[in-house]
Structure 1
Amino acid sequence: MTTPRPFGRALCAMITPFSPAGELDSEAAGRLAVRLVAEGCDGLVLSGTTGESPTTDDAEKTALVRAVREAVGESAYVVAGVGTSSTRHTVELARAAEEAGADGLLVVTPYYSRPPQDAVEAHFRTVADATGLPVMLYDIPCRTGTRIEVETLLRLADHPRIVAVKDCSYDLLGSAKVIARTSLAYYSGSEELNLPLYAVGGAGFVSTVANVAARQLRAVLDAYDKGATAEAARLHQLTLPLTELMMASGLPGTVTAKALLAAGPVREPLQPVGREAVDGLRNAYEELLKAYEELLSA
């Protein structure tokens, strides 16, 4: 069975660059998008968790889609994060993203209100019916408070425009069951599970760490695809120290990615990292680059 990959394999959950004054920097977003594609990203996911969607307004989200679409042309998929806690608002953002040139939509489970599963299902179907774009569901219960349960996913898979899942559920068994029983494309949203999920039929990843290490993360998938599973495992292992510092050190991935990229400020309530943390991130990043080059040249 061929794994469906409606948005490619290697997707970056792109940061949203801001100017020193805290305004959307569309030109910087375009430059970053071009660089990420050059480093191996098949797709760019905008206005997700890493893109600071809770603190950007509707006009900024739409402007970001337009800027990135213009910058990368047709060389990469542009997936717009449109999920909110309101179905009506999500539909409005979805339609605006379609008009702005997005190739697909990332739709998170409605948060805070913690709707039951029948309401979750109805929300996703309403959004998917609102445009002609394919939809990637975003399952991240640690942030939303609500899981997209396996049985709900199995039902949603029958919708012609619901084609993918960004999986931050930390439930490899549940994910593998859905992969086995549907044509949904599963993208790892947790870098430490990129290779394990790929090995059970996942489509690839949507990664925050890819903002700074897209080439290294994609190399894991490339090695696995050519049958070099030991090499894939080793390459995956090399990324773990940086992944841990960026994603599991108590600091949000948005903050750590922007610190490494020097891509402008974060918006409050987020705060920038201190000098010691920046030095640790840079050391881990440099160690990854060194180890990666040594492995490839061995």
Structure 2
Amino acid sequence: PVVAGVGYGWAQAARFARIAQEAGADALLVLPHYLVAAPQDGLVAQLEQLAARTRLPLIAYQRGQVAFTAASLGRIAALPSVIGLKDGHSDLDRLQRLTLAAPEGFLFFNGAATAEIQARAYAAVGVPAYSSAVHAFAPEIANAFFTALRDGDDKTVDRLLRDFYVPLVELRDRVPGYAVSLVKAAARLRGRPVGPVRAPLTDPSPADLAELRALLTTGLDLVGAAL
């Protein structure tokens, strides 16, 4: 299934939703609104307004200035088209309260940056599903990690975390925006002509690109794949 991202204010999100629906998307990921903080009633109203203007299922994305309370989660989960919540805050106390307040069948996703780092912790509070940025450029590594985590192969999980994911996160945290820049750079290293990032983001420096290449080689070697 294709889940298209929509966001900004509800009116612009509705325009994006219409375009995504016409293009054949299966669902929508509702990103945080722009700039300002908003009360819980406003966060709920944002989804109510969008739900009234599209037939596609909606997944709310809480990160940045959007963080739902358990009471607000109950309100948005009562909307027939809101099927889940993606979390980017990594506040496991809050997330546990949300999972306990949600109705049966409501979906939760770990949307933390480099989600594999926190996959065990999220799973412990009932959120085993996660999105993987690494899958965009090295699906061999991402799939090997997921399989090991699912099967309880702690030795493989630890090895991949220690030798690939943790060094990747340390490189990612070196420069603001590298969470995006490194993904595109790694895709180019794998032969995908995805082009550079757009300003205000910047592409990795030559030294950081060389480090990324070495790290990618290490990760692929760990899972028996080739660069």
Q: Note the C-alpha offset of 1:277.
A: 0.8
Contact preservation (8 Å) 2:160, 2:219: no
Amino acid at match of 1:79: V
Amino acid at match of 2:110: S
- Distance in 2 between residues matched to 1:231 and 1:128, nearest whole Å: 44
Q: Which residue of 2 aligns with 1:82?
A: 6
Q: Which residue of 2 aligns with 1:187?
A: 109
Give the match's secondary structure for 1:105: strand
- Distance in 2 between residues matched to 1:256 and 1:136, nearest whole Å: 26
Matched, 1:107 2:30: yes
Q: Note the C-alpha offset of 1:92.
A: 1.1
Q: Note the C-alpha offset of 1:110.
A: 1.3
Q: Note the C-alpha offset of 1:213.
A: 2.6
Q: 1:49-88 residue pairs with structure 2 within 5 A?
A: 77-84=1-8, 86-88=9-11
Q: Note the C-alpha offset of 1:103.
A: 0.6
The partner residue of 1:274 within 181, 188, 205 is 205
Q: Which residue of 2 aligns with 1:175?
A: 95
Aligned length: 213
Q: Which residue of 1 aligns with 2:191?
A: none
- Distance in 1 between residues matched to 2:166 and 2:56, nearest whole Å: 37
Structure 2 stretches lacking a partner, 5+ long: 189-193
- Cα deviations across residues 124-145 of structure 1 (Å, max 9, x unaligned)? 121122211111111112xxx3
- Identical pairs, percent: 26
Contact preservation (8 Å) 1:167, 1:188: yes
Amino acid at match of 1:184: F
Q: Note the C-alpha offset of 1:109.
A: 2.2
Matched, 1:214 2:139: yes
Give the match's secondary structure for 1:130: coil
Structure 1 pair 153/240, CA: closer, same or farther in 2 (3 Å)? same
- Distance in 1 between residues matched to 2:118 and 2:160, nearest whole Å: 9
The partner residue of 2:214 within 262, 272, 283 is 283
- Distance in 1 between residues matched to 2:210 and 2:79, nearest whole Å: 47
The partner residue of 1:126 within 25, 36, 49 is 49
Contact preservation (8 Å) 1:223, 1:229: yes
Q: Which residue of 2 aligns with 1:162?
A: 82
Structure 1 pair 165/215, CA: closer, same or farther in 2 (3 Å)? farther
Q: Note the C-alpha offset of 1:148.
A: 2.7
Give the match's secondary structure for 2:138: helix
- Cα deviations across residues 14-66 of structure 1 (Å, max 9, x unaligned)? xxxxxxxxxxxxxxxxxxxxxxxxxxxxxxxxxxxxxxxxxxxxxxxxxxxxx
Q: Which residue of 1 aligns with 2:184?
A: 258
Structure 1 pair 177/236, CA: closer, same or farther in 2 (3 Å)? farther
Q: Note the C-alpha offset of 1:203.
A: 4.6
Q: Note the C-alpha offset of 1:81.
A: 0.4
Q: Note the C-alpha offset of 1:230.
A: 2.0
Structure 1 pair 218/163, CA: closer, same or farther in 2 (3 Å)? farther
Aligned-CA RMSD value: 2.2
Give the match's secondary structure for 1:206: coil
Structure 1 pair 171/209, CA: closer, same or farther in 2 (3 Å)? same
